[in-house]
Amino acid sequence: MAYRSSDKTRQKKDAKRTAMMQAAVQVFAESGYHAATVRDIVKASDVAIGTFYFYFPDKETLFVHLYEETADFLLQTIDQAIRSRSELAQQFSRGIQAYVNIAVFEPAVVRLLLVGGVGAIPSLEIKRSNFRERMVRLWQRPLDQAIDTGTIPNQNGRRVAEAFAGAFDEVILQLLAMPEPDMEAAAVVQELTLFSLRAVAYKGTPP
């Protein structure tokens, strides 16, 4: 009879893995990829170093895996927010709000995705390019829909989405550099939404 771990054992393993992943996000965000060590991560997650190596062969593998998971989390959150509305102004307002919320309440996630490991891990570059492509497509979809329905003038939705993705990231990073980003969050959402709508010559009523 093949050995099967109990539900309780699996839950304990999942809890340890989750604790390591959460701790690693913070450690990488605070120390940077090069300065962070495996010992820093296991200390922050309160697990044995052998537990780390049970799940990951090295720090680089962990970082790449962590990057993929946090990218999925951010993209899915923004995507759900955009899809919750059918009109361009509300789609952008909700999508930007979701991005800003994650930046304010989970800043380590955003820092890891936007600046973590840049140029340090060759194997990460494909993942980073994929993340950027998916982000651009998130903003392009509502733009293309608005063009098709005549809500905004005909324009290159792809290029506009690329510009928005870069601009949003820069503003988010500047927000996180402020002493109290939560105090500026609402203003950032409003300003970025209005900026986006003006840029595409939206003629409707702003949210």
In 3D, which of 25, 34, 31, 119 has the Cα closest to residue 73? 25
Render pLDDT for 134-164 as a digit per residue (tens, 0 to 9). Answer: 999 999 999 999 999 999 999 999 999 999 9
82 and 48, same structural domain? no
Domain count, the chain: 2
CA distances to 50, 83, 138, 202 from 198, rounded to whole Å, are 55, 21, 19, 6
d(CA 75, CA 207): 22
- C-alpha 59/C-alpha 37 separation (Å) is 7
Shared-domain flag, residues 31 and 118? no
105: domain CATH number?
Answer: 1.10.357.10
- Give residue 1's pLDDT: 41
Instruction: Return the SS3 of 99.
Output: helix
Do residues 180 and 140 share a domain? yes
Asked if the structure places residue 128 within a domain, the reply is yes
In a domain, 44, yes or no: yes
pLDDT band for position 3 (cuts 50, 70, 90): very low
Domain annotation covers residue 29: yes
Residue 73 lies in a domain: yes
Q: Which domain holds residue 161?
A: 59-199
Last residue of a domain, one of 39, 56, 73: 56
SS3 of residue 14 by DSSP: helix
Q: The domain spanning residue 23 has which CATH number?
A: 1.10.10.60
Inform me whether the pLDDT recorded for 4 exceeds 80.
no
Residues 71 and 133 in one domain: yes
Classify residue 26 as left (phi > 0), alpha (psi -120 to 50) or beta.
Answer: alpha
Give 130's Cβ-side CA count (13 Å radius).
12
Residue with tokens 């922050």: 44
Evaluate whether residue 205 is within a structural domain: no
- pTM value? 0.87
